Structures are given as C-alpha cells and as structure tokens.
Structure 1
C-alpha cells in the first residue's frame, strides 16, 4: 500500500505497537470517525509494516525513541504525512514518527483487510459530510 494512507489517518491516536525491528511491526491506530465507515464494530485500524528496518518517534527538540512502549506512552496523534525517499515521516502533534519498511497492509481492528481505495472513499465521505454540517451551521 502507498505511504499516503498515513495522511488519511489524520487525528488517529497510536494505541499500541508490537513486533521487531528489523522485521514486522504492528501498529493499532484509534480513529473512530473513519472506522465508522466500515462494517462491524470497532474503533480503528491495524497497520502491518513488513520488513521494517527503522521505527522511531522523536518529540521536537528531543532524542529519538525506539522503544515501542515508550512511544505509545508519548500518546502520539497522527497529523500528516511527510514522506521522504528512504524513510516515511509521519508528522504527529508533538513530534514525528520515522519509519523505513518495504510494505504496509491495513486492516480493520476486527481483522478484515482494507484497501487504499476503501480508505480514500471513507475519508472522502467523512469530510464531505463534515463540510455539509459546517455549511449548514453557517447558513
């Protein structure tokens, strides 16, 4: 899956991280507003990074953190994607998450796979509805 999916997860909170670097890393992201556009109950998504060789979080003006539990304790919230040539950099509220991996897969927290197109459609539906609600309030 293209790295652009990270930008679609805007406002998602990283709830847990597991796995090994190098190896496979699994990240659970809570993002209810987007999850509601998919079948079944749930609060977010699981991202599987295959052949991950770098995974670290760095708060602004601080040293990078590689320990998964310490990263989760920082309560990072995804803002946007700032992708590079070798690494993927995800801007968060108080810092950035830098990763290098060969492949990424996204699943509902219930386990069903999600395609990039499905994520894009859900995001578009949410933001279209959001704009309509705001427009209605302004009028």
Structure 2
C-alpha cells in the first residue's frame, strides 16, 4: 500500500487538507510524471482515508504536524522506506511519517489513477529518459 510513494520521486508537496483523524488529501506537483497522462495538469492528489498520523520532520528539527507549516517547508519526495509503520516517506530535507488505512490517487484534473497505471507511467518515463542518454 505504500509502494506508490516511491513513484512520486521528485514530487513536491504543494497542499495538504483535511483532518486527523480522518481523511487527508495531499497534492503533489510532479510535472514529468503527470505529462504521461492525458489532459493538462502538473501533479496528483493523494487521498488518505482513516489517516491518524501525518508528521514532517526536517533533519535536526522538531516534528511538524500543522499542514500549512509542512507545505511552507516544501518537502520534496525522494522515496519510501519499505515495511515501516507508520509509512516513512524520505524527502530531500527530512521525512514524512504517515499512518492511514486506505489510499486513492487522482490526477489533479480529478480522474482516478491506479497504482499500476502510475507505475506504468513512471516506467515509461524513466525508460525513455534512459534511452535518451548517449551510449559510450
């Protein structure tokens, strides 16, 4: 259930809304991956159901739970630590810890996207990127 976070590599968290405990939506700006899908847009909305924890902590800083403050710190996703609970999403300057029961992913235009579709789009992008590098 947490694997998809790694597919959002290089994505910046631009908005967090909702309440804990409850449903929380996170907007992630990641233009290169979004362009693999039809329509205009720059990112995805990740909706976490039954969310009971969302805490961001920059290295050598205090944990932050306020959504607006987290967004102000501009976390950029690097990847996810597998098998952790809560889920630990590694970011450029720290880590985001989240605990939730279910997840839904949407294009920023509103259309639902499955994890498989997200994985296929990521693979297509990175395969094309690798093919564009001159071979020695």
Query: TM over 0.5, yes or no?
Result: yes
After superposition, give the CA deviation of every residue in 1:29-59 in whole Å (9 maximum; x if it has no partner). 0000000111110000000000000001000
Report if aligned partners of 1:58, 1:64 keep a CA contact under 8 Å in 2: yes
Aligned to 2:119: 120
**Hey, what's the Cα distance between the residues in 2 that align with 1:97 and 1:116?**
20
1:1-139 matched pairs, under 5 angstroms:
2-134=1-133, 137-139=134-136
Question: Once superposed, what is the RMSD of the aligned Cα atoms?
Answer: 0.9
Aligned residue pairs total: 136
Aligned 8 A contact 1:12 1:29 in 2? yes
Q: Return the TM-score normalized by structure 2.
A: 0.97
TM-score (norm 1): 0.95
Q: Matched residue of 2:132: which SS?
A: helix
Gaps of 5+ in 1: none
Q: Give yes or no for contact 1:106–1:114 (8 Å, CA) kept in 2.
A: yes
* Structure 1 runs (4+) greater than 6 angstroms displaced: none
How far apart, CA to CA, are the structure 1 residues paired with 2:85 and 2:101?
10
